Every structure is written in structure tokens, then in C-alpha cells.
């Protein structure tokens, strides 16, 4: 997937702009932001928010995967 540079730029412009676009960022875009922001070593708060969002995205994916695997298999055995 391509990284949308406008979103990355907004995310790194300020904390308030990051908050506005954070829910729209893909994991790939979040990681790109983390690479750029961590190299500058300027704003710990932005790095912290990006790490939290990346972790949350992975949590949602993992829960979804487990639900599909275990709930789907249980439903199939009940039928």
C-alpha cells in the first residue's frame, strides 16, 4: 500500500493535527511517521501517540484473527 504523504505531513505537523488524522493513518503510514519523528528526536508526545496507535491497530487485527479462527470453527462444528 502506498503511503499518503499528506496524512504523514499532517501527523508530523503538530500534536493537534496528529489527533485529527490519527484514526485515518494506516499502520504503514504510522511506521513511516515513527521513522521520521524518531530521527529528529524532538517530540516525545508524538512518538508516544504513534506507538500507541500502531499497537492498537495490531491488537484489533489480532482479536479479529482469533475470532475468525476460533468462533468460525466452533460455529462450523455446531452445524
Question: Grid coordinates in use for 44?
Answer: 516525545
Q: Is the pLDDT of residue 4 over 70?
A: yes
Q: Which residue has the cell 479462527?
A: 69
Residue 3 near residue 27 (C-beta atoms within 8 A):
no
With 0.85 as the threshold, say if the pTM is over it.
no
Tens digits of residue pLDDT in 43-78: 888 999 999 999 999 998 999 999 998 987 665 666
| Nearest one of 52, 44, 50 to 8, comparing CA atoms | 50
User: Mean per-residue pLDDT for 30-40?
Assistant: 91
Amino acid at each position: 500500500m502506498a503511503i499518503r504523504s499528506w496524512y504523514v505531513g499532517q501527523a508530523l505537523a503538530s500534536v493537534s493535527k496528529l489527533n485529527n488524522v490519527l484514526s485515518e493513518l494506516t499502520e504503514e503510514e504510522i511506521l513511516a511517521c515513527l521513522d521520521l519523528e524518531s530521527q529528529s528526536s524532538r517530540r516525545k508526545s508524538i512518538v508516544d501517540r504513534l506507538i500507541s496507535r500502531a499497537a492498537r491497530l495490531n491488537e484489533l487485527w489480532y482479536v479479529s484473527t482469533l475470532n475468525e479462527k476460533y468462533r468460525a470453527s466452533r460455529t462450523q462444528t455446531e452445524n
